[in-house]
Structure 1
């Protein structure tokens, strides 16, 4: 594995040696843009993971609160049942004063009140523990990050395509200037070389 990495680095350095300073400058600029995009993608991934952990912890807490609420509701119902039975036991002596029908109606009214109170108490808990709001929040964060990534990719693509046009134009100019400079300097350099050789002899 290390031999592969070394050969990869060697090939990269050989390619860099073959490039001119002008090309190296543009290559470094493009690499900087890619690194910038990579850093932003990394930060987006961190934000998304933090959001997922946040939603999971809230759901876990909701499940705990739901279990506690269910246990409390169960204990409350048992306590109410026990209290009603105690009341009936203590009032058995005067029970024969009330007609049976009205006594059953009283029990039915008490049961209705108890059931309605229980459903009213459990409605907000049910709404919270469904987790739909949290899932919607997570979906909206994921969509936002996806839109950001797509926009960033398009932006980088536009920057690179515009920069490529500039690069090609500058490369033509540099090559033209370099050729003119060589054609002007090389004869002079050849003349200087010939004069130094003639002076030595």
Structure 2
């Protein structure tokens, strides 16, 4: 696997970008700009690390509209009203913190046309873990250019567990809307948070993964 997030700015710059995009308007408690700046100041992390707002701070459904491509905001598909109920799968340990950091992001282009069921063992077998939907959105907030035609990605680190204990067959993904069906023509070209079946393959979807996660001190 080849890393594709090679030029992420430092964490302080990423925090400023999140604030400029409107993070503090999403009901993230009493956090202030100065508190967020203090939390990321001087943090020693590998080059190319990504700052991620934790799911307990802000839900993915609230972050998705901050995405942008071709001047159009991101959106969640209408038949995924339960997006925020998708949680990390076993083996994906997301720090319980307002913000955390992931390193070694990869888009997984080489696994395009694989199914999620096929990709997961390949990712874990390489000593990595699949990206969550919140991490995928956070990445594209910093690097919108990572969402390219025919090079989008699934985030199979997030799954929904049903009342009977089994996993829902849907796996989250982020791609570019074609403006068809219930998306609406006005959304053509916009970032789209949706889902795919765990056993299906798609030629334009790779599989996001990360090397490591670690928490930041609470602001």
Please give the TM-score of this superposition, normalised by the length of structure 2: 0.17
Larger relative contact order (Cα-Cα within 8 Å, sequence gap ≥ 6):
1
- Hey, which of these two has a bigger chunk of strand by percent? 2
Considering only CA atoms, is the larger Rg found in Structure 1 or Structure 2?
A: 1
Please give the TM-score of this superposition, normalised by the length of structure 1: 0.18
- Hey, which of these two has a bigger chunk of helix by percent? 1
